[in-house]
Amino acid sequence: MTGKQILSDITVLDLTRARAGPAAVRQLADWGARAIKIEAPGAPDSADLGRRDGSDFQNLHRNKLSMTLDLKSDAGRDVFYRMVRKADVVVENMRPGVKHRLGVDYETLNELNPRIIYGSISGFGQDGPYANRPCLDQIAQGMGGHMAVTGEPGSGPMRSGAAISDLTAGLLCANGIMLALYEREQSGHGQWIQTSLLEAQIYLMDFQAARWLMDREVPPQAGLHHPTIAPMGTFRTSDGYINMAPMPEMWERFCRTLGLERLVEDPRFATFDARFANRPALIAEIESVTTLSTCAHWIERLNDERIPCGPVYTMDQAFSDPQIQHTGIARKILSHRLGEIEVVGQPLHLSRTPNRCDADRAAAAPDYGADTAGLLEEHGYSADDIASLRARAVI
């Protein structure tokens, strides 16, 4: 295993806020990129979700540097342009018109540095009828069809408990940036990477979206059960709930394991389509047995028969599970102000080139503007220059 991180020779200028953009930059920073979070002077918490010392901020902004810079001022833009000439990547998630008003759009920065890779995350896209509308994760969940298929049948729309379009858009943007970095090795040129919360959400719908595109079938809510396969879902036990997911070819083995052999010959459940059509009756039959024993009992029995199953955890229970602990997804990092804290690590592992979390080199989220002076010095600004910028509230 080499100690060098994959992106350690890449510098990223981070103009993002909220969640989707910072998630994209976090992905690059975890794999070694030097990520510089550029923040407005005088407002340490105004551009991000939650308190700076809070869990959300610390988890989202680890492994980054922080500098303050007023991009609305001519002097601030001059500083930024000087940094762009030496950088590899710029990431932003402003509404399309805002970056042009600030003069930090792709066309402007490409003139300064033709090798620059510019990543953009928007709510609805860089153009089109909704391009300048504001958007957040829940808006995309609703418009992308997700809320209409989530929840119990007839219960009304339901959002997911995590910011799924934000995080997916961030991962897609980071993936696009890495593709562009690879392509730049051949062409020598940068390019503009674009994605949106709305597209990311529709992409996440996957087979549910394909049901409409190919079959013109509008997917309904299916609650705790699979939209197209029965039995597959969440079932009651004597002490809680268990997820069971027997594939169709496991049907007879599943019945035998639960002591429900009689269902194999029952015409209501004899075929794949019949089981789906009679799902409420099938669930009742299964729960008449599963409620007689505990989750642990059924998990052991089903796993012995190689039938997929698992408990339904709360967050604290999840991080107490021995397999989840074994993966190392919870990572300890040291903050000079907060002491030792835990964040969500990378779920991706490479055998020779570790990410910062795997290599135990993760850094806590930066203090507000902590790296401003040092970064300015790197770009040729003297102590007097820096004092002048500070006096004019440019930094």
**Could you give the CA distance from residue 294 to residue 317 in angstroms, rounded to a whole number?**
16
Q: Select which of 226, 326, 336, 349 is catalytic.
A: 226
**Could you give the CA distance from residue 221 to residue 90 in angstroms, rounded to a whole number?**
40
Q: Tally Cβ neighbours within 10 Å of residue 98.
A: 13
**Could you give the CA distance from residue 33 to residue 89 in angstroms, rounded to a whole number?**
10
Domains, in order of start, for the chain: 11-205+325-391 (3.40.50.10540), 233-312 (3.30.1540.10)
CA atoms within 13 A on the CB side of 179: 11
DSSP 87-141: -SEEEE---HHHHHHHT-SHHHHHHH-TT-EEEEEESS-SSSTTTTS---HHHHH
CA atoms within 13 A on the CB side of 311: 18
CA atoms within 13 A on the CB side of 305: 22
Residue in 280, 277, 148 with CA at minimum distance from that of residue 219? 148
Reading the chain (395 residues) residue by residue, the pLDDT tens digits are: 556 789 999 999 999 999 999 999 999 999 999 999 999 998 765 556 568 889 999 999 999 999 999 999 999 999 999 999 999 999 999 988 899 999 999 999 999 999 999 999 999 999 999 999 999 999 999 999 999 999 999 999 999 999 999 999 999 999 999 999 999 999 999 999 999 999 999 999 999 999 999 999 999 999 999 999 999 999 999 999 999 999 999 999 999 999 999 999 999 999 999 999 999 999 999 999 999 999 999 999 999 999 999 999 999 999 999 999 999 999 999 998 899 999 999 999 999 999 999 888 899 999 999 999 999 999 999 999 999 999 999 99
Residue 321 corresponds to which tokens in the numbers above?
């599970």
Is 336 considered catalytic here?
Answer: no
**Could you give the CA distance from residue 393 to residue 395 in angstroms, rounded to a whole number?**
5
Q: Report phi then psi at 369, rounded to 5.
A: 70, 15
Q: Match 């991080």 to its residue by tokens.
A: 319
pTM to 2 decimal places: 0.93
**84 with 113: CB under 8 angstroms?**
yes
**40 with 66: CB under 8 angstroms?**
no
